[in-house]
Structure 1
Amino acid sequence: MSGRQPAVSKPGVNRSRGSIWLVLAMLGTIVGVAPSAGTEALPPDDDGPPRLRLATGNVDLATMGEVGTISSGRYVVQFDRLVTRQDATALESEGAKVIGYLPDDSFAVRVPAGASIPDLDGIAKIARFEPAWRISPDLTGEDSRMLRIAVDDGVDPNTVVEHLAGAGLQVLGVRGQSVLAIASGPVSDNVADHPAISWVGPLRKRVTHNEAAGAIIGTTAAIDVGYDGSTQIVAVADTGLGDGTAAGAHPDIPASRIVAIRDWDDPGLLGCRTSIDDGPQDVDSGHGTHTTGSVLSDGAADGTGRGSAPGASLVFQAVEDYSDYTLACELLGNVDGYELRALPLDLNVLFQQAYDLGARIHSDSWGADVFGEYDSSSADADEFTWNNPDFLIVTSAGNSGIDDDDDDDADGVIDDDSIGSPATAKNVLTVGASENVRGDNFPCDGSLTYPNDVGVSCADQAGENLLFEYGDAWPADYSTPPIATDSSAGNQEQMAAFSSRGPTDDGRIKPDVVAPGTWVLSTYSSLYQEGYGDPVNPQNGLFQSDGWGFPANDEYKYFGGTSMSAPLVAGGAALVRDYYNKEHGIEASAALTKATLINSAVDLLDENNDGLDDNDFPIPNVHEGWGRVDVGAAVDGSRAFVDDASLNPGATDEYDVDVTEGQPLKITLVWSD
């Protein structure tokens, strides 16, 4: 699935790297105290001891019995104060291994045979890390399903295979630090009852979630004053790129700006899936070519399809292969077709390749539907930025925004709680979709005479695409006005209906920002195009997807989804880094780049899709985050900034700022942890 198609934690604990971004307004003192995680801290528990906050629920460790003698196993060590990196180091002094931080004020600790946990000042409780706390709440019911069992770093996953088989799982294989398996029925606590198993969850399929849009988000203004991304390399991980070569990427993506194209292969799974690798070419949806153009295409001579950063260079990572399912995995509902199975389970590996090739921005228009859950993919993204604080991951929020599909509950506005993964990560820039506006009535190629699903051609439509209403395209998702009768484009103050909404399950605001994501025009892969003399793809007997409506010509087509908004913002992030490089001589951190885009964003007037430009929910909110990106404002030089600051837990720092009386003061604090 490409975009949205119509139907017709591993944080650091000793400090937080951050950027304070100021709009000057009044004389004052700014005091920044970085909480331990996230964009919005969870509410404090002032009436009792710290809670252990897990995906499976909150636990009051004070109510649990004492563990007595420490033997080999997995434990939670909770302190009665803010913890530091020195605490983590001290906990390992008798052979135990600290796996990571857990809120509040706790560490997950694995104790090998012969090791122990030292008696440190400030330890309030040591409790066994119960197996049930490490099993996803989604694994209920009797249905068979595929599982991903995450194993601690530094432990060979093959060492837990025998344990998993003994717990009744059908083990399929090992991928990185994970074991893949099939559970035929309920998942018992015994599955997670191994000290090296950190999480047991469903194996989620990752799916794929551009010139007029540039004016809406201000990239045109930024380019006009010299910030075109020419000092930056952006990585895009997606389906494929043109014909798979630098020379054949696209006429408006020149080979001279392509640093590398890397093809990732899916090895398949014995007895489950055979993978057919077709290289880095883009043959099915054309999704990767389209998103890449949105980041950095030169655009046609008349400006059609120009990307956000037409001077930036490209690292492309092709992660789509054709899956041929067999045996047990077919019975689980899997269907043969093109999928993003080449994405590594451990995303650190993907990001590292791009980083080593010089990229400092990574554009990801794909993810898994987790409805606000912070999962292992989100943890991978946070971990990589923590270890590489100059690397900004820009990811699509997801396309799961709906007005409850039970007609009895539908109220005509979009529901909360649908953000995908890795978009729930803290350190990434998560991008939702707003509506697009064009002044040319969304033209299509009038020479195309083949019919669409309802029997009408572009020629029949006099060379213009007909904009659908959300209720016509997805009647099960949008059955009730006003959203059912709302047009899919035409109001840049409105969110796209399908854009996934926050908050995350742990209470943070997501998305961070939004950009146009409906009827976005961008680059069209040259392979298997219908109506232009090409044959069908011999692998599946189909032409490449037309996207939304009919293409504008054989080089540009329309698509919709947060897949389309994310690369526009990734290109915008390249312009922001380009600005800091050219004007201030610095390589902006991920935190500073994110802070700049958030601080300069514009509040939408119809963020909740109620059909009224009434600003029911001023920013920040769970629909648009901090608003629609305005790159022109981000690089206009009117804001002060501090980059690469750091604070220990409980510490403060102060900044004095001279401002103009009567003007607003807007402060954005972003940190990578």
Structure 2
Amino acid sequence: MCISIGSCWRATALQKAHAIVLLLSLYAAPGELGESTVGRRRLSAAEWGSLISTGWSETHVREALISRISAADRTSPSTLVNRVHRALAQETADLEGQLTSSSARWLYLIGSHTNSTGRVLELVGRSAHHLSAPGPGDVHWFMAYLSGKDAEVLKRDEAVEHVQAVPQTLKIEPSHLGAKLLALQEYSPSSEPDSLLEQPETLKVVLVEGAVASLEEAQSWAGAWEDALRGAAVARDFSCTPEGDLACSDGVLVSCSAEDTDAVVCGPVLASRLESAVSWLAARPESLAVEIKKAFKPLNKWAKQVVQSTGGASTPIFSSGLLGQGEVIGLADTGIEMNHCFFLDEDRPTPFNQIDPLHRKVVQYITFDDNTDGGAGGHGTHVAGTLAGNTFVGLHPYAGMAPGAKIAFFDMGYGSASTLAAPVSLRQNLFPFAFKAGARVHSNSWGSSFEGYGSDARDVDDYMYKNPDFLTVFAAGNDGDNGTFTISSPGNAKNCLTVGASLNELAALQQQNPGLGFGQQLDQGTVAPFSSRGPTTDGRIKPDLVAPGMPIFSAYGQPGVTAASDCQMDAQQGTSVATPVVAGLAALVRQYFREGYYPSGSPDPASSLGPSAALVKAVLIHSCVAMTQYLDPSSNLRQLGTPPDPIQGFGRPVLETVLAFAATPTAAQPIATYVRNGGADGSVLTRGQAHTYIVTVRSSKKALRATMVWTDPAAAPNSLFPMIHDLDLNIVDPNGTTWFANGRSSPDTSNNVEQITIQAPSVGNYSLVIAGASVAVGPQPYALVVTGDFAPVGPPVLGTASTRNRANAQLDNGASALRIGESSALLVLIVTLWTALFFTDYNAES
């Protein structure tokens, strides 16, 4: 256990090469790693590698092998395996030796049989961090902050299968921070530029649940940590001096701060001392994970028609009277130019840091950084206009997707800076402001290129799980040119709705580029070339869907221009501008249910229901139509298959395919619709339970489609498989054929969105089954949407279902050509140990 600064990080270049060989030797024999161990002995390095995540791929490891291993190194793979096992075992043994029967607390890994998880969670209280769905042996794994004495008590409890202190080396986020530490260790000034050393980092230390009782206590810790890092013994390590790094030439010292009880932030840390700082911070008992603090970046006349009607030429939802009235939508971005005609209220001032429900458009404006949108053409003003912008009089041609809705705004921009100063904890210091103002949809056109499941994705999932009617909508990112696995964080969270970008109507492209010819092959069925692609590193389908984002015309802010003349529009493109399109649609869906349009198609206060976030998400995904093609990075058109896939997700939403109106029916609207709304109507399952719905199809003229969504509990940062629960959707047709979700030939074990579409279904009875294959943390609510031509559907019949754990699961990206096998996923995790090995203090002999 590394307690003092600088006591770790002694791995030699040869040992680094050993680690790479070890990875490939383990990958070559994945069967050796397939057996999980429970009981009282310590986990092996390979077993740790089945729980802790990294974003690195097999390709990276093989490239590392070629570039870094000396031909003169003839150490046998078996010797290397022994070395890494002994290294990790020694660190764990030293750690547990210090903690045994101690009142000092530390982070422990706990494994319990699924049937006993509830009782074990009662023992450890609110400090549990779930790692994944139950794995081999039907063991559910989570981490908790315990004293050594409590850990010894747990070891003797019959409900507990395994208890072990977490080595500090495994607290280090591997794909960004670990990769930089490795690069620094291999840095050669004679052959590489100095840019690596010119980049100090700000570190985010994620705190374990239950470690901090108050903000004051977190701030006290931050002060103590700052003093330690600045201490006389290490002043040279952490001071930024004029003769030191150019990036710190102003003499700024490292500082630590806490703005919430979720994390402590320390920086700037010079690259030359990053290893020592990370080691010391990971050794803090209160730390759950150490990562680089991410810098988030900001990532409609025709669009309204494209996402409301199948022909893209009308707005049937608006025509039926739904404009978002009565809805508040949360938005976090660079700022809003409040003089613009889309937001101005001549009778009421802007409600800075307060709530004014009577303001015409913006009911709340939190000045987290400032209260402006920087220079002309601000990002926040544009996306706010797309979301809900409108003028005083009439419906403006470029009005937003929900022009009758209001906005609760959170300003994360500072002047015209290119990055956003977001709160450290999204779940504590971002979403609650909008929620208090009445928002139940939150639009976020920003993110960072972080591949794994980190603390920000955890925050999104946790807030949504604890506030089940709150839907967050995130941009997928604009890194599609870099290929697959490019979904931004926190858009890679499980529960949010992640939005890619498609082409708008051809008329929008022509207005943006007058005089430039566009072939008819470019249409609204085309995915934009920049739109980031999935899947996530654990194999989940992202983006969830795509929406017009190339281009979108919306509000153009002009600071200093008088309100009377500030009504200019301009075009922007990106997943940033596609995201408020979908968030605005979400507000329309909420209004549809809140005003009681379901099930009759006419507003009825007696039928009003408050839709869960899962139901709103399910409706939007259910409404999707397939995209036909995408532009690759070379601007070549490529055909797309049947969704879902990692380019289009489930397709592009078209609301008239799912929202029916009795007074203004369209040919595309469903003949029959059936929905379930989670806990509000008893749509909840425990492990081993199943709900069966009998759907009697009356005609084959309408496809039978079912979409099921649930909001999953949050997983711990860096979990390899962050899905905690697993529900399954399947349909048995009148011929006895079983249809599985997402185009698969067996149950989907990777996603919390599952959809089945049966084109031209035979007339007869269909058994639609939702099964609780794996539910570890209390009953799991779900939402269900079914459309087609069928007789009224009754309540579900409760039955039993076969259970499953992660050992049986196959990571599979459905209809996509991208498939991640179990052995490859295992390799992904073992790279964590490769990174961690470099940060372990050992001197092993073969």
User: What is the TM-score of this pair, normalised by structure 1?
Assistant: 0.71
1:128 aligned onto 2:165:
yes
User: 1:380 and 1:229 mapped to 2: Cα distance?
Assistant: 27
Determine the C-alpha separation between the residues in 2 that align with 1:642 and 1:236. 28
Distance 1:521 1:380, change over 3 A: same
Among candidates 455, 459, 463, match of residue 376 of structure 1 = 455
Equivalent of 1:670 in 705, 709, 724: 709
Asked if structure 2 preserves the Cα contact closer than 8 Å seen for 1:436 and 1:490, the reply is no
Letter matched to residue 207 of structure 1: K
Contact 2:368–2:410 under 8 Å retained in 1: no
Correspondence for 2:489 = 421
Does residue 146 of structure 2 align to residue 111 of structure 1? yes
Name 1:197's counterpart in structure 2.
287
Secondary structure of the corresponding residue to residue 421 of structure 1: coil
Write out per-residue CA displacement over residues 361-400 of structure 1, whole angstroms, 9 at most, x where no aligned residue: 1111111221x32221111111111111001111111112
Match of 2:504 in 1: 436
Report deviation, 1:416: 0.2
CA deviation map 1:311-353 (0-9, x unaligned): 2122222221238xxxxxxxxxxxxx36421545434321111
Structure 2 unaligned blocks of 5 or more: 1-32, 39-46, 57-80, 135-139, 185-196, 230-236, 239-253, 310-314, 351-357, 599-607, 661-669, 713-846
1:91-106 equivalences under 5 Å are 91-92=124-125, 98-103=127-132, 104=134, 105-106=140-141
Of structures 1 and 2, the one with the larger relative CO (CA 8 A, separation 6+) is 1
State the one-letter code of the partner of 2:706: I
Please give the secondary structure, in 1, of the residue aligned with 2:526. coil
Q: Secondary structure of the residue that 2:144 maps to in structure 1?
A: strand
Separation in structure 1 between the aligned mates of residue 504 and residue 521 of structure 2, nearest angstrom: 5
* Kept after mapping to 2: 8 A contact 1:396/1:562: yes
2: CA distance between counterparts of 1:246 and 1:523?
Answer: 9
- Paired residues of 1:347 and 1:381 also in contact (CA < 8 A): yes
Change in 2 beyond 3 A, CA 1:355/1:623: same
Q: In the alignment, what sits opposite 2:365? A: 262
For residues 535 and 526 of structure 2, what CA distance do their matches in structure 1 show?
19
2:74 counterpart of 1:74:
no
Q: Would you say 1:249 and 2:315 are equivalent positions?
A: no
- Deviation of residue 640 (structure 1)? 1.1
Q: Is the 8 A contact 1:296 1:306 kept in 2?
A: yes
- Secondary structure class of the residue paired with 2:625: coil
Equivalent-residue separation in structure 2 for 1:283 and 1:489 (angstroms): 37
Deviations 1:579-630 (A, max 9, x none): 1112131010000000011111111111464877774332111111111111
Residues 1:652 and 2:690 are matched in the alignment: yes
- The Cα shift of 1:504 comes to 1.2
Matches within 5 A, 1:247-396: 249=344, 256-266=359-369, 277=370, 279-281=371-373, 283-298=375-390, 303-322=396-415, 337=417, 339-341=419-421, 343-370=423-450, 372-396=451-475
**Could you tell me how far 1:557 is from its partner in structure 2?**
0.7
TM-aligned CA distance change 1:76 to 1:264, over 3 Å: same
Which ranges in structure 1 are unaligned for 5 or more consecutive residues?
Answer: 1-44, 267-276, 324-336, 404-414, 445-463, 469-485, 535-552
> Within 2, Cα distance between the matches of 1:350 and 1:489?
42
Amino acid at match of 1:261: Q
User: Aligned pair 1:149/2:149, yes or no?
Assistant: no
Which runs of structure 2 are paired with 1:509-588 in the superposition (5 Å)?
509-527=541-559, 554-582=567-595, 583-584=597-598, 585-588=608-611
* 391 and 131 in structure 1: CA distance in 2 versus 1, 3 angstrom threshold: same
Distance in 1 separating the partners of 2:641 and 2:476: 19
Q: Which shows bigger deviation, 287-296 or 72-81?
A: 72-81
Tell me which amino acid in the other structure corresponds to 1:260: V
Please tell me the residue identity of whatever aligns with 1:388.
N
Contact 1:242 1:250 (C-alpha < 8 Å) held by counterparts: no
**Residue identity matched to 2:708:** L
Q: Does 1:401 align with 2:434?
A: no
Partner of 2:221: 159
Cα RMSD over matched residues? Answer: 3.7
* CA 1:216–1:667: 2 relative to 1, 3 Å: same
Shift of 1:178: 2.2
CA contact 1:401–1:418 (8 Å) conserved in 2: yes
Which residue matches 2:602?
none
Do 1:56 and 1:135's aligned partners in 2 also have CA atoms closer than 8 Å? no
Matches of 1:208 and 1:507, distance apart in 2: 26
**Alignment correspondent of 1:476:** none
After superposition, the Cα gap between the structure-2 partners of 1:310 and 1:533, relative to the gap in structure 1 and judged at 3 Å, is: closer
CA distance in 1 between partners of 2:145 and 2:227 (Å): 22
Question: Which residue identity does 1:320 align to in structure 2?
Answer: G
Shift of 1:80: 3.8
CA 1:121–1:617: 2 relative to 1, 3 Å: farther
1:593 and 1:502, CA in 2 relative to 1: closer, same or farther beyond 3 A?
Answer: same
Distance 1:432 1:594 in 2: 15
**Paired position in structure 2 for 1:502:** 534
Query: Equivalent residue of 1:656, what SS?
Result: strand
Q: Deviations along 1:632-654, whole A, 9 cap, x unmatched? A: 22312642111112222343222
Q: Is 1:626 the equivalent of 2:659?
A: no
Q: How far, CA to CA, are the matches of 1:374 and 1:83 in structure 2?
A: 27
Number of residue pairs matched by the alignment: 533
Query: Which amino acid in 1 is paired with 2:263?
Result: S
Structure 2 CA distance for partners of 1:86 and 1:70, relative to 1, 3 Å: same
1:55 to 53, 59, 63: 53
Alignment of 1:442-481 (within 5 A): 442-443=510-511, 465=514
Which residue of the partner structure matches residue 592 of structure 1?
A: 615
Residues of 1 paired with 2:576 and 2:458: CA distance?
A: 21
1:76–1:126 CA contact under 8 A, matched in 2: yes
Aligned mates of 2:488, 2:259 — CA distance in 1: 22
Alignment deviations for residues 64-85 of structure 1 (CA, whole Å, 9 cap, x no partner): 6885846432110012436644
Contact 1:245 1:261 in 2 (8 A): no
CA contact (8 A) 2:550 2:573 kept: yes
Q: 1:396, 1:566 within 8 Å by CA — same for their partners in 2?
A: yes
Change (3 A) 1:369 1:113: same
Measured in 2, the distance between the counterparts of 1:376 and 1:341 equals 16
Q: Say if 1:233 and 1:312, in contact at 8 Å, map to a contact too.
A: yes
The CA deviation at 1:214 is 1.0
Q: Which residue identity does 1:640 align to in structure 2? A: Y
Which residue is equivalent to 1:232? 327
Alignment partners' CA distance in 2, 1:285 and 1:130: 49
Q: CA deviation at 1:666?
A: 2.4
Deviation at 1:152? 2.7
Do 2:223 and 2:256's aligned partners in 1 also have CA atoms closer than 8 Å? no
Contact 1:284/1:338 (<8 A) preserved: no
- Kept in 2: contact 1:246–1:261 (CA 8 A): no
One-letter amino acid matched to 1:283: G
Contact map agreement 2:509 2:551 (CA 8 A) in 1: no
> In 1, distance between residues paired with 2:146 and 2:35?
32
Cα gap change, 1:199 to 1:526, in 2 (>3 Å): same
Partner SS, residue 127 of structure 2: strand
SS at match of 1:175: coil
Are 2:677 and 1:643 aligned? yes
Structure 1 residues 248 and 258, CA gap change in structure 2 (3 angstroms): closer
Q: Would the aligned equivalents of 2:376 and 2:556 in 1 still touch at CA under 8 Å? A: no
Q: Aligned-pair distance for 1:198? A: 1.2
Q: Percent identity?
A: 27
